[in-house]
Amino acid sequence: MTLSELQTSFEQAFGKQAEKIFFAPGRVNLIGEHTDYNGGSVLPCALSFGAWLLLRKNDDGVLRFRSLNMKETYSIQLSAIKPQPNRAWCNYALGCIDIIGQRHPEAKLTSGYDLLYYGNVPAGAGLSSSAAMEVVTARAFTEELSAVCYQQSDDKAYRTELAKISQLCEQQYAGVMCGIMDQFASAQGKKDHAIHLHCDTLEFEHVPVKLDGIKVVITNTHSPHHLDSGAYNDRVRQCQTALEQIRKVRPINYLAELTPEDWQEVEQAITDPIAKKRAHHVVGEVARTAAAVEALKQGNIAYFGELMTASHVSLRDDYEVTGPQLDALAEAAWQVEGVLGSRMTGGGFGGCTVSLVKDEAIESFKAFVGKEYEAKTGLKADFYVAEIGDGVTRLR
């Protein structure tokens, strides 16, 4: 949808033109899965699709939320800002407005606003449609409310603050105790770069991704991402069990501190076989992520692809979070000439795979993987050829 079409939609909804337009991207994690809560790093990048926000002040003292993707509309008095019931989609935006005021008391909301959202991130695919909505709202209202964080000269610090605001929104208003990777990637994204992020310290660097003649292809299982809290908490607990048993022979704070060589010395300390498998994945994934960063810096995309594939195998065999749909996609992709690597991305048990595919192989990739996937699962996959884009920005 073009900006002109979005402006027309805004006028149809509110009777006037929007004053400003903002955009924030979705994200995909290229490698580094289930490492964040184990003290490791991740390697996401911002995508070329995401969420748009058009806004205009009104004199009615009301926040009016409309979305071209949702039927529900909301009108909320400035004096009644609080989480809305029934998992209202506006909570992903309303919470950001509220939290800006909590973190920056000088940012007083004194005017109502008409707000129109549009997103082209596939919902339920694990590509952070909610984070994009949060970050685009945080960007718009830190500017509108002249918050101190918006006025500061350090752009990276400002964008980190947007990620923190957005993460708190999802936790407090949507009730999802998420990490910060999704919001961070949407805020700090840089065109043709991945973000090597240490989630505990928020230290990061932009790493160039030189994909000459190669595209990032995201494939949607249409088996919605649903790593439920029980499965997620089980794996957190199993990693904690491994950590506690390792500490009997080596004092460490996180599993991510172990190198593969260290692992050979301490793995016998883990008596729980499931916990050992989980820890084995973490140690290997941390090493793969570090190797992937170096491969990108050296322009060795072929090796980067091999590391992606190895990541999926580990997530399948040791962490057991892939499931038949993601495995069917990845295993079909590995058979296509011109595919450098393919893996699940996100928490697992549904969602998407991410693949590196040579330009000349994209159509054969779609045809073969789509056919194989439907034959194995009865489901139809969707394919998105993505560009690595910039983080949140004001467009007008």
Count CB neighbours of 185 within 10 A.
Answer: 30
Q: What is the CATH number of domain 214-386?
A: 3.30.70.890
pLDDT digits 0-9 by tens, 348-396 = 888 899 999 999 999 999 999 999 999 999 999 999 999 999 999 999 9
pLDDT digits (tens, 9 = 90+) for 64-92: 999 999 999 999 999 999 999 999 999 99
The CA distance from 136 to 117, in Å, is 10
248 Cβ contact list (under 8 Å, min separation 6): 269
- For tokens 């949808």, name the residue: 1
Residue % of the chain over a pLDDT of 70: 98
CA of residue 275 relative to chain centroid, distance: 26
pLDDT at residue 240 tops 60: yes
For residue 73, what are its two tokens?
């509309």
DSSP string, 311-338: HHHHHHHTS---HHHHHHHHHHHTTSTT
CA distance 214 to 177: 35
Q: What is the DSSP track for 180-210?
A: SHHHHHHHH-BTTEEEEEETTT--EEEEE--
Average pLDDT value for residue range 102-114: 95
Answer whether residue 111 shows pLDDT above 70. Answer: yes
Strands 339-345 and 352-358: antiparallel
User: Which residues lie below 8 Å from residue 365, measured CB to CB, with a gap of 6+?
Assistant: 217, 333, 336, 338, 339, 355, 357, 383
Across 309-337, average pLDDT? 97
pLDDT tens-digit profile of 91-104? Answer: 999 999 999 999 99
- What is the predicted pLDDT for the residue at 238? 97
Radius of gyration of the chain (CA): 22
Across the range 185-210, mean pLDDT stands at: 96
Position 179 pLDDT exceeds 90: no
CATH code 3.30.230.10 for 3-209+390-394: yes
Grade residue 146 by pLDDT with cuts at 50, 70 and 90.
Answer: very high
Is 66 exposed, middle or buried, given 0-12, 13-18 or 19+ CB atoms closer than 10 A? buried
Residue 256 has pLDDT above 90, yes or no: yes
Residue ranges per domain, the chain?
3-209+390-394, 214-386
Q: What is the mean pLDDT of residues 262-272?
A: 97
- Contacts of 354 by beta carbon, 8 Å cutoff, 6+ apart: 28, 29, 30, 216, 217, 218, 219, 308, 342, 343, 345
pLDDT value of position 186: 97
Averaged pLDDT of the chain: 95
> Residue 146 is encoded by which pair of tokens?
């002249």
Terminal-residue alpha carbon distance, the chain:
16
Residue pointed to by tokens 């003292």 = 61
Identify the band that residue 124 occupies on the pLDDT scale cut at 50, 70 and 90. Answer: low
> Active-site residues: which are they?
182
pLDDT at 101: 95
pTM above the 0.75 mark? yes
- Angstrom distance (rounded) from CA 29 to CA 312: 12
